[in-house]
């Protein structure tokens, strides 16, 4: 139900063919102050065309608006403000939600097109960083949102399992490694080796040469190198999958950088054929001067390939395998230049589809205003953070609802949901300050607050013994007191569309917070459980709120426990 559209159609008819309904729809606003109506049409553009004062036009048009969905039309300045017919609109939307349930707000403009989403992509033998957490939860929410809009998401974990760092790691392992220690604590042990490598290499540059040599061996399939690499990879994946289980995130493909080892020659040959490869300092590069970018390094002097070479091969592979309509890369903004170069090189190669690739950047996770870094071993282990958040959620539940049956499961849903929500509630470009105490609160703009509101609404329905099917369209209420909540429900489909257009999950996070807030206000003012003529309508509204909150949370990758 799109009232902007209906309003635009009414106006278009009155205006004959001066502007199309679609053009008019874009002009319609939603007044910030509800006292100014539900929708407003500014007459300034028309005033220019008609060479007439805006308030005169508003006056003339408003007198002719006679549609049952509007109960009042007002003119203020150059604006036509319309008030929706509360009874008609509320009952329409509520019956729609009751029938559609979780399907409410679904769109089909994606037309089944494939959208590949490069997300998470942690590096083997290194801890799963906060940046990878951000990529995982933002990517997962984007996948859910585009799916809701009719696209086919394909979630790809482009594991960092190839590159010179593995040569360094093998060097370090052969010098100082201990197999038992690695087996017991793979990531922290391998990280320690990697850190030691860099410390020693500062005074002993020859070590870097050894590292490069081992990576070359790995690329050439040397048995010892490959065996060690596979072992590091397996152990790391085991640790990562614990985090993915906690986050409830799955992938359609785990084709990481190593997957492209045998697919890079083709790209290098193509670049060669198109005359795009030039030698620079004994390395092969693609010049991007015209594009205003530094050259893209394709092959090092020793013949070793690079991160960019693998991404070129991956982009082509994805186009050929999935024929995507969009190819997204959810990666921190510090890699912006890399993705600009990647897309520019592909365009130079004549691949027009490179125009459908997009880097979806995001800001950093900070503690005490500083970036959390892995290089020097200063790292917050993500699994610990998640577990700590789950513990805090359990503690909150113990206090508030000590008799809850499935405490462990709910604590997990709340603790993990809190971390995800904290990440998604801000525009993804913002840096976020990480604070466990802040994100696990049951009040304010937190995930637990939304989950708690949902659980409370569920408990009202349980107490009233309300059945979704029992809803009758014959509601005895004017919907005056309910209107604020109803008008938020009306917005849900638009919010989803906007979140999809901007690939911005924060739109949905902000929406569920707002909906929870207006609902809680309503709940404080109206005695829903007291028997009254209006009770059926009120319960139907509560039910609609639960459906929309649950679906909103689901689109963010967050569970909605019915009791907590
Ligand atoms: N592994 C990389 C890192 O941790 C991220 C990879 C992003 N994806 C890509 N196709 N380059 O920095």
> For residue 120, is it within any domain?
no
Residues contacting residue 340 through CB under 8 Å, at least 6 positions apart: 291, 293, 359
Nearest CA to ligand 1 atom 4: 122
Separation of CA 329 and ligand 1 centre (Å): 9
Ligand 1 site, CB within 6 A: 118, 121, 123, 158, 160, 311, 329, 331
Residue among 160, 187, 260, 336 to mutate when testing ligand 1 (max atoms within 8 A of CB): 160
Question: What local confidence, expressed as pLDDT, does residue 471 receive?
Answer: 52
Closest ligand 1 atom to the C-alpha of 342?
Answer: 11
Rounded to an integer, the average pLDDT of 229-235 is 94
For residue 299, give Cα distances in angstroms to 254, 292, 342: 25, 21, 14
Least confident window among 210-224, 331-345, 358-372: 358-372
Q: Give the domain-ending residue among 69, 84, 99.
A: 84
Residue 379 scores a pLDDT above 80: no
Closest ligand 1 atom to the C-alpha of 332?
Answer: 12
Residue 320 scores a pLDDT above 80: yes
Domain that holds residue 443: 418-555
Taking the alpha carbons of 403, 404, 409, 414 in that order, is the dihedral positive or negative?
negative
Separation of CA 57 and ligand 1 centre (Å): 56
Q: How many other C-beta atoms lie within 10 A of the C-beta of residue 202?
A: 9
Rounded to an integer, the average pLDDT of 338-364 is 97
Separation of CA 160 and ligand 1 centre (Å): 6
Closest ligand 1 atom to the C-alpha of 339?
Answer: 11
Residues contacting residue 21 through CB under 8 Å, at least 6 positions apart: 5, 8, 9, 11, 12
> For residue 269, is it within any domain?
no
Separation of CA 197 and ligand 1 centre (Å): 22
Question: What local confidence, expressed as pLDDT, does residue 371 receive?
Answer: 67
Q: What share of the chain is helix, strand, coil (3-state, %, to 5)?
A: 60, 10, 30
Residue among 139, 318, 327, 331 to mutate when testing ligand 1 (max atoms within 8 A of CB): 331
Separation of CA 119 and ligand 1 centre (Å): 8
Closest ligand 1 atom to the C-alpha of 338?
Answer: 11
Question: What local confidence, expressed as pLDDT, does residue 374 receive?
Answer: 46
What Rg value do the Cα atoms of the chain yield, rounded? 28
Residues contacting residue 451 through CB under 8 Å, at least 6 positions apart: 413, 414, 417, 553, 558, 559, 560, 561, 564
Question: What local confidence, expressed as pLDDT, does residue 71 receive?
Answer: 93
Higher-pLDDT residue of 167 and 438 is 167
Q: Give the domain-ending residue among 34, 62, 84.
A: 84
pLDDT in tens, 24-38: 999 999 998 888 999
pLDDT in tens, 239-293: 899 999 999 999 999 999 999 999 999 999 999 999 999 999 889 999 999 999 9
Closest ligand 1 atom to the C-alpha of 131?
Answer: 4
Separation of CA 256 and ligand 1 centre (Å): 9
Spatial contact of 449 and 443, defined as CB atoms under 8 Å apart = yes
> For residue 440, is it within any domain?
yes
Dump strand ranges (E) for 58-113: 70-76, 79-84
Highest-scoring range by mean pLDDT, 84-93, 235-244, 320-329 = 320-329
Give kind and range of the element (H or E) at residue 117.
Answer: strand 114-118
Spatial contact of 86 and 483, defined as CB atoms under 8 Å apart = yes
Question: What local confidence, expressed as pLDDT, does residue 234 receive?
Answer: 93
Spatial contact of 393 and 440, defined as CB atoms under 8 Å apart = yes
Separation of CA 335 and ligand 1 centre (Å): 8
Q: Give the domain-ending residue among 84, 102, 134.
A: 84
Closest ligand 1 atom to the C-alpha of 335?
Answer: 12
> For residue 68, is it within any domain?
yes
> For residue 270, is it within any domain?
no
pTM score of the predicted model = 0.93
In whole angstroms, give the CA distance from residue 145 to residue 368.
32
Residue 95's closest CA among 523, 469, 509?
A: 469
> What's the structural domain count of the chain?
2
Q: What is the dihedral of CA 531, 533, 534, 540, to 10 degrees?
A: 80
Question: What local confidence, expressed as pLDDT, does residue 553 receive?
Answer: 98
Q: Count Cα neighbours of 295 within 13 Å in the Cβ-side half-sphere.
A: 15
| Three-state helix/strand/coil letters over 204-225 | CCHHHHHHHHHHHHHHCCCHHH
> For residue 231, is it within any domain?
no
Angle formed by the axes of helices 206-219 and 164-176, nearest 10°: 110
CATH number, domain at 520?
1.10.730.10
Sheet holding 370-371, edge to edge: 370-371, 365-367, 432-433
In whole angstroms, give the CA distance from residue 85 to residue 314.
54
Separation of CA 204 and ligand 1 centre (Å): 29
Closest ligand 1 atom to the C-alpha of 126?
Answer: 4
> For residue 483, is it within any domain?
yes
Residue 45's closest CA among 9, 78, 83?
A: 78
pLDDT in tens, 418-444: 999 999 999 999 998 888 888 888 888
Residue among 117, 118, 121 to mutate when testing ligand 1 (max atoms within 8 A of CB): 121
> For residue 455, is it within any domain?
yes
pLDDT in tens, 358-378: 999 999 888 776 766 544 444
Residue 268's closest CA among 302, 301, 312?
A: 312
pLDDT in tens, 111-147: 999 999 999 999 998 888 889 999 999 999 999 999 9
Residue 421's closest CA among 436, 400, 401?
A: 436
CATH number, domain at 54?
3.30.1360.70
In whole angstroms, give the CA distance from residue 17 to residue 507.
35
In whole angstroms, give the CA distance from residue 425 to residue 441.
14
Place 384 in a pLDDT band, splitting at 50, 70 and 90: confident
In whole angstroms, give the CA distance from residue 219 to residue 146.
37
């Amino acid at each position: 139900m799109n009232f902007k559209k209906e309003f635009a159609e009414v106006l278009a008819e009155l205006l004959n063919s001066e502007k199309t309904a679609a053009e008019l729809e874009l002009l319609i606003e939603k007044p910030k102050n509800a006292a100014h109506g539900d929708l407003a049409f500014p007459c300034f553009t028309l005033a220019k065309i008609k060479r007439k004062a805006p308030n005169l036009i508003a006056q003339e048009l408003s007198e002719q608006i006679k549609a049952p969905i509007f109960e009042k039309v007002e003119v203020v300045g150059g604006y036509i403000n319309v008030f929706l017919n509360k009874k008609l609109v509320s009952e329409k939307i509520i019956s729609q939600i009751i029938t559609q349930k979780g399907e409410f707000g679904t769109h089909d403009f994606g037309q089944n097109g494939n959208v590949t989403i490069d997300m998470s992509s942690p590096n083997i033998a290194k801890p799963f960083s906060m940046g990878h957490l951000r990529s995982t939860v933002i990517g997962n929410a984007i996948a859910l949102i585009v799916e809701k809009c009719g696209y086919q998401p394909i979630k790809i974990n482009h594991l960092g399992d190839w590159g010179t760092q593995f040569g360094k790691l093998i060097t370090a392992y052969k010098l100082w490694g201990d197999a038992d220690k690695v087996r017991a604590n793979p990531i922290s042990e391998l990280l320690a080796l990697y850190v030691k490598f860099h410390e020693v290499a500062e005074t002993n540059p020859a070590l870097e040469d050894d590292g490069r040599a081992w990576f070359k061996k790995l690329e050439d399939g040397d048995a010892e190198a490959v065996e060690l690499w596979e072992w590091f990879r397996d152990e790391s994946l085991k640790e990562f999958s614990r985090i993915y289980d906690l986050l409830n995130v799955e992938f359609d493909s785990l084709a990481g950088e190593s997957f492209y080892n045998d697919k890079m020659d083709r790209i290098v040959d193509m670049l060669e054929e198109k005359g795009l490869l030039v030698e620079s300092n004994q390395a092969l590069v693609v010049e991007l001067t015209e594009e205003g970018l530094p050259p893209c390094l394709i092959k090092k002097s020793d013949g070793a390939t690079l991160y960019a070479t693998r991404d070129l091969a991956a982009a082509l592979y994805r186009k050929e395998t999935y024929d995507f309509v969009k190819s997204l890369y959810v990666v921190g903004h510090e890699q912006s230049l890399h993705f600009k170069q990647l897309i520019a090189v592909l365009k130079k190669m004549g691949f027009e589809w490179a125009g459908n690739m997009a880097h979806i950047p995001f800001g950093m996770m900070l503690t005490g205003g500083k970036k959390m870094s892995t290089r020097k071993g200063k790292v917050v282990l993500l699994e610990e953070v998640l577990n700590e958040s789950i513990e805090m959620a359990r503690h909150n539940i113990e206090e508030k609802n000590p008799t809850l049956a499935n405490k462990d499961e709910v604590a997990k849903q709340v603790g993990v949901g809190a971390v995800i929500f904290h990440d998604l509630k801000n525009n993804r470009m913002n840096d976020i300050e990480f604070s466990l105490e802040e994100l696990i609160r049951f009040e304010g703009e937190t995930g637990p607050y939304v989950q708690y509101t949902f659980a409370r609404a569920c408990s009202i329905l349980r107490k009233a013994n309300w059945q979704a099917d029992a809803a009758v369209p014959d509601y005895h209420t004017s919907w005056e007191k309910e209107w604020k909540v109803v008008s938020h429900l009306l917005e849900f489909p638009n919010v989803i569309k906007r979140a999809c257009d901007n690939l911005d999950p924060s739109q949905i996070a902000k929406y569920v917070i707002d909906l929870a807030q207006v609902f809680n206000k309503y709940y404080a003012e109206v005695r829903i459980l007291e028997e009254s003529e209006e009770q059926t309508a009120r319960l139907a509204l509560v039910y609609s709120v639960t459906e929309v909150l649950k679906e909103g949370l689901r689109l963010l990758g967050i569970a909605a426990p019915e009791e907590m």
